[in-house]
Structure 1
């Protein structure tokens, strides 16, 4: 779907539930021994990929009227799990399926078959799992058989924190204790914190000493009868940037300022750029601001780079993003995608060695932008339209369904214009 976006945004918006938290709590509930209800007011393709994949291996999950109802799993073997385009679904559930001895096959679409799995697969193969992958360099379809064994696992921290999360879900199910040693820098560390918190809610204990995680075996998942998914900071970031680069304030409702979600750092990042953001008991309000270029470390917040690049385009001077190299392995090569997007509207940016530099402060011109099938690129392009004098056409705008299906409805509710081409 191609659309044209224009207009000035103002008003209040409620971001959708956190898909990162939803993935984690769905897995914990599916591994539990009693019914659990998860309040999740909206879903997206990624969340549903996790739900359907869990159901494929025997979970009993129903979603209706904003509530997931999860009953204890009756394990089914030799099933195919379609992960869609969700890296979280794939990397979380491959270790879980191996721990359960599910002998499952994983498939996916979009760029998912190209996203790295090698180091995780090696770690699983060293602990009793047989894994078959294509010979053409792709990661999917992936077949795993056998049952995971306890022991000492070593994984690099600079590829994906999702490897560690997958093992943290799986290892408590085994009949002996295990450790995970993370080598190098642990990127997106806040997502590990979210995983450990989800495990805590489910009654699973994880010890941590620096870069080593200690996981007792023979643990049992025991979720509360009801849990609520909090608002998604990755989605909120688009509206915060829209407010600070736009002409009118934008207010966010329903956000937990004390969250473990790493992307809540959007407030800190924007504040460094000179943004005026007001937090009170009811709203987080992004005020129109004069932004300036800064240096931002994206080690723990890689998903924020596309929308922060929009803020950088509106800022005076250069903004340098550090520790962003792994963004080439996302739904698109997000560094090249954003370089192309910004170039299309007349903004110069430079892809460096683990850096991305935006030379801001120039007038943004109206144009057509390719989303590269990436939800975050499409949404960033839409917010770019708020600092142009005309319309921006977005190619592949339906990609937003991956994380935020109602995104363009919100644009309209805030006063923007959206027209299908």
Structure 2
């Protein structure tokens, strides 16, 4: 919201309701502080270039090291100059329409950013994927949102045709889906500790991380869905093989479940996790190992030997998903788990430890 305000949007918050008034006169050379958010950076880079002649971007943590090269290269070919290769930098020059080419297996956020920006340009554009799309659910969510705001894009295979000169319009209040990615931590805790029930989850959501229910079933957890209530209880857990190409954010917490299951679990197609808030493959392997589990790190996956976790000191690597996964692991550990950098949860779930305590978890701040 801070970046949108910097671009000229008026945003008002009243409890759980947020009202956004459109940008009428974009602010030139505004400073957009993306914090540690890769999605904010990748979404707003092309949007700012479509709206303004210049803008400045900054960020912190690992964000300056996270990849934007494919997106930046395409923007450079279409009228935008970058003052540096990584944050902080300034962009200058208006984005122009035309043919864009991006890999589909690096970050779906590149695609979302351009799908948001290209309708604002004066001429038609095409966005062409040069490799198989991964995390495709997020692109489908983007297209659905665009449609609700009156924006049209034609999809044919790996090509998106986006007419220029379109106008975003909203005539209705929007209800935001509950977040399956964050719900996954408590659902996994239900499989490892005691029965946990969650309300407010849309079982028909287009979020890919809704797959957490089916995956916990595969491990052997007991799942009950009744009305709007989802309940997960421990079962006889056994390892399995999981392709995480479409659900990379679930790997850390599923690795905890795997470490507490009988037999081996193999996670495949996880190479993109090396480009997250941490090298999330290495960080997850370190988490499991530090708590007494058996894990082998592979170039694009993990092999986890089942059994049990003992507890100990876990480094979050300043990664919110590693910190929350460590807390879930504590449900099954014989000894306490001390999480270094636990405040990393503030990035996506500031109230995580409060909710954890409400469910019976014991939390002590050192």
The 10-residue stretch of structure 1 (262-271 or 395-404) with the greater mean CA deviation from structure 2 = 262-271
Distance 2:291 2:172 in 1: 50
Is 1:355 the equivalent of 2:301?
yes
Question: Which residue of the partner structure matches residue 58 of structure 1?
Answer: 8
The residue number in structure 1 matching 2:39 is 88
Q: Deviations over 1:128-172 (max 9, x none)?
A: 1111214xxxx2012111111111100011110100000000000
> What are the Cα deviations for residues 42-75 of structure 1, in whole angstroms up to 9, with x where unaligned?
xxxxxxxxx1001101111122311111112131
SS in 2 for 1:408: helix
Are 1:76 and 1:102, in contact at CA under 8 Å, matched by a contact in 2?
A: no
1:117-266 matched pairs, under 5 angstroms = 117-134=68-85, 139-246=86-193, 248-266=194-212
Structure 2 unmatched runs, 5+: none
User: Does residue 316 of structure 2 align to residue 409 of structure 1?
Assistant: no
Whether 2:267 is the aligned partner of 1:267: answer: no
C-alpha distance in 1, partners of 2:79/2:292? 53
Cα separation, 1, equivalents of 2:207 and 2:268: 20
Map 1:339-378; keep pairs closer than 5 Å.
339-361=285-307, 363-378=308-323
2:335 aligned to 387, 390, 403, which one?
390
Equivalent of 2:27 in 76, 79, 90: 76
- Give secondary structure in 2 for the equivalent of 1:243: helix
Partner of 1:20: none
Q: Is the 8 Å Cα contact of residues 81 and 106 (structure 1) preserved in structure 2?
A: yes
Q: CA deviation at 1:259?
A: 0.4
TM-score normalised per structure 2: 0.98
Runs of 4+ residues deviating >6 angstroms: none
Aligned-residue offset at 1:185: 1.7
Structure 2 distance, partners of 1:304, 1:266, is 8
Asked if the contact 1:75/1:102 (under 8 Å) is kept, the reply is no
Whether the 8 Å contact between 1:201 and 1:224 is mirrored in structure 2 is: no
> Which of 238, 241, 249 is the matching residue for 1:295?
241
Q: Secondary structure at the match of 1:127?
A: coil
Query: What is the DSSP-based 3-state SS (H/G/I as helix, E as strand, rest coil) of the residue aligned with 1:186?
Result: coil
| 1:28 counterpart residue number | none
Q: 1:315 aligns with which of 261, 267, 271?
A: 261
Contact 1:57 1:102 in 2 (8 A): no
Instruction: Report the alpha carbon displacement of residue 102 of structure 1 after superposing the two structures with TM.
Output: 4.2
Is the CA contact 2:27–2:52 (under 8 Å) kept in the aligned structure 1?
A: no
Aligned equivalents of 1:183 and 1:229: distance in 2? Answer: 32
Query: What corresponds to 2:324 in structure 1?
Result: 379
Which structure is higher in RCO with an 8 Å CA cutoff and minimum separation 6? 1
Q: Which residue of 2 aligns with 1:400?
A: 345
Q: Which residue of 2 aligns with 1:305?
A: 251
Q: Distance in 2 between matches of 1:153 and 1:70?
A: 30
Matches of 1:101 and 1:186, distance apart in 2: 30
Indicate the residue corresponding to 2:365 in structure 1: 420
How many residues are aligned here?
A: 365
In 2, the alpha carbon distance for the partners of 1:95 and 1:188 equals: 20
Question: What does the per-residue CA deviation read over 1:236-289, in whole Å, with 9 as the maximum and x for residues that have no partner?
Answer: 10011101111x210011000000111101112222222221112120110111
Q: Is the 8 A contact 1:371 1:394 kept in 2?
A: yes
- Report the equivalent of 1:11: none
Question: Aligned partners of 2:187, 2:174: CA distance in 1, in Å?
Answer: 27
**Unaligned stretches of 5+ in structure 1?**
1-50
How far residue 335 of structure 1 moved from its aligned partner, in angstroms, is 0.7
Deviations 1:330-358 (CA, angstroms, capped at 9, x unpaired): 00111111111111111111111212111
